[in-house]
Amino acid sequence: MKKVLVCDPIAPEGVKMMEDAGFEVDARKGIPPEELEKIVGDYNAVIVRSATKVTEPVIKAGKNLELIARGGVGLDNVDQAAAKEAGVKVVNTPEASSRSVAELALAHMLAVARHIPRGTAGMKAGKWEKKKLKGTELMDKTVGIIGIGRIGRTLAGMCNGLGMKVVAYDLPEALSSLTEDYIERASSLDDLLAKSDFISLHLPKTPKTANMISSEQFGKMKDGVIIVNCSRGGVVDEKALAEALASGKVAGAGIDVFEKEPPEENPFAGMDNVSMTPHIGASTKEGQFRVGLAVAEKVIEHLS
Ligand code: NAD
């Protein structure tokens, strides 16, 4: 019987699916690295979320390991080179949380457009700033989506439903494979920056996308633009964004991801035109449930 070690919690339905498929599943939480190295040799597959690090020593100790399955997006916590060297397959479930992340990006757009952070802070401080909190509707505004993959397209559909115009920037091959006719394909990043009232980022952090939005790009945007980053910290230059917010060039921002998490010195801490969440884009009941099932499906597919 093949054995699966679940190192970070997944939905119990996912564990049951694997047991029903005939695997022996050990679900344990918070295994210290040295213990993981000792026990991993007994297993054919390990399942992790973002907490457990699957390092080279762990992979080398995994004499029977065939598969490392990461529930969610990103593989930063898995040593992929060591896995390749050892002939261990690595999979993830990026699609399972797209809806959750897209909904959070939309929530930040609405929160900033309607001054919810400042309204909440004011009410808690006993203020009634009714006259100062005139907001902006989303309808008929243009949202620029940078990175029109799984999450970007999901957000595009929701924004279209709200009566917004949608313009997208991505690599040429991604733009040409789009089928949605309501999405305008930006001719360049500058084209998107010039047209957008809201800008939402949905692309990975790579050497090419690090600080992709910095002082120069803020200068090319409309005055009073609203920026949302639910992708990865450091795709937007935090210092430049804080300056653009302080100068009023950017009217507000919604931020779920930070250059350092948690931030040591949060440059937005004193700004009431910023809506912030602690990297919770994928954290919904439904998203977690789908991740649990998707990761179980991948294990069954690869070990059967
Ligand atoms: P995806 O791979 O489906 O889409 C990413 C898009 O970015 C692709 O279309 C790709 O072509 C584009 N892209 C990559 N490099 C580019 C470049 N240099 N210039 C222009 N476009 C480029 O990914 P996804 O599932 O939609 O995820 C998008 C981002 O959201 C990722 O960074 C992911 O890590 C992040 N994410 C965040 C959370 C959260 O909790 N906030 C959760 C899940 C995913």
Domain membership of residue 33 as a residue range: 3-93+285-303
> Do 22 and 120 sit in the same domain of this protein?
no
> Do 158 and 204 sit in the same domain of this protein?
yes
Which DSSP helix (H) or strand (E) runs through 80?
A: helix 80-86
> Do 82 and 8 sit in the same domain of this protein?
yes
Q: Please tell me the distance between residue 206's alpha carbon and the centre of ligand 1 in angstroms.
A: 10
pLDDT at 73: 85
> Do 88 and 113 sit in the same domain of this protein?
no
209 in Cβ contact with 234 (< 8 Å):
no
Q: What is the pLDDT of residues 166-199, one digit of tens each?
A: 999 999 999 999 999 999 999 999 999 999 999 9
Q: At what angle do helices 150-161 and 98-113 cross, to 10 degrees?
A: 50
In the annotation, is 114 catalytic? Answer: no
Answer whether residue 33 shows pLDDT above 90.
yes
Q: How far apart are CA 97 and CA 150, in angstroms?
A: 9
> Do 104 and 157 sit in the same domain of this protein?
yes
pLDDT at 230: 98
Burial of 12 (0-12, 13-18, 19+ CB in 10 A): exposed
> Do 156 and 175 sit in the same domain of this protein?
yes
> Do 258 and 291 sit in the same domain of this protein?
no
In the annotation, is 118 catalytic? Answer: no
Q: Please tell me the distance between residue 60's alpha carbon and the centre of ligand 1 in angstroms.
A: 31
Q: What is the pTM of this model?
A: 0.93
pLDDT over 70 for what percent of the chain?
A: 100
> Do 191 and 123 sit in the same domain of this protein?
yes
Q: How far apart are CA 142 and CA 191, in angstroms?
A: 12
> Do 168 and 225 sit in the same domain of this protein?
yes
CATH number at residue 223: 3.40.50.720
- Average per-residue pLDDT for the chain: 97
Q: How far apart are CA 219 and CA 224, in angstroms?
A: 11
Q: Please tell me the distance between residue 151's alpha carbon and the centre of ligand 1 in angstroms.
A: 7
Q: What is the pLDDT of residues 199-258, one digit of tens each?
A: 999 999 999 999 999 999 999 999 999 999 999 999 999 999 999 999 999 999 999 999
Q: How far apart are CA 180 and CA 301, in angstroms?
A: 31
Catalytic site residue from 115, 150, 232, 290:
232
Whether the ω angle into residue 117 lies within 30 degrees of 0, i.e. cis, is no
In the annotation, is 232 catalytic? Answer: yes
Residue nearest to atom 39 of ligand 1 (CA): 281
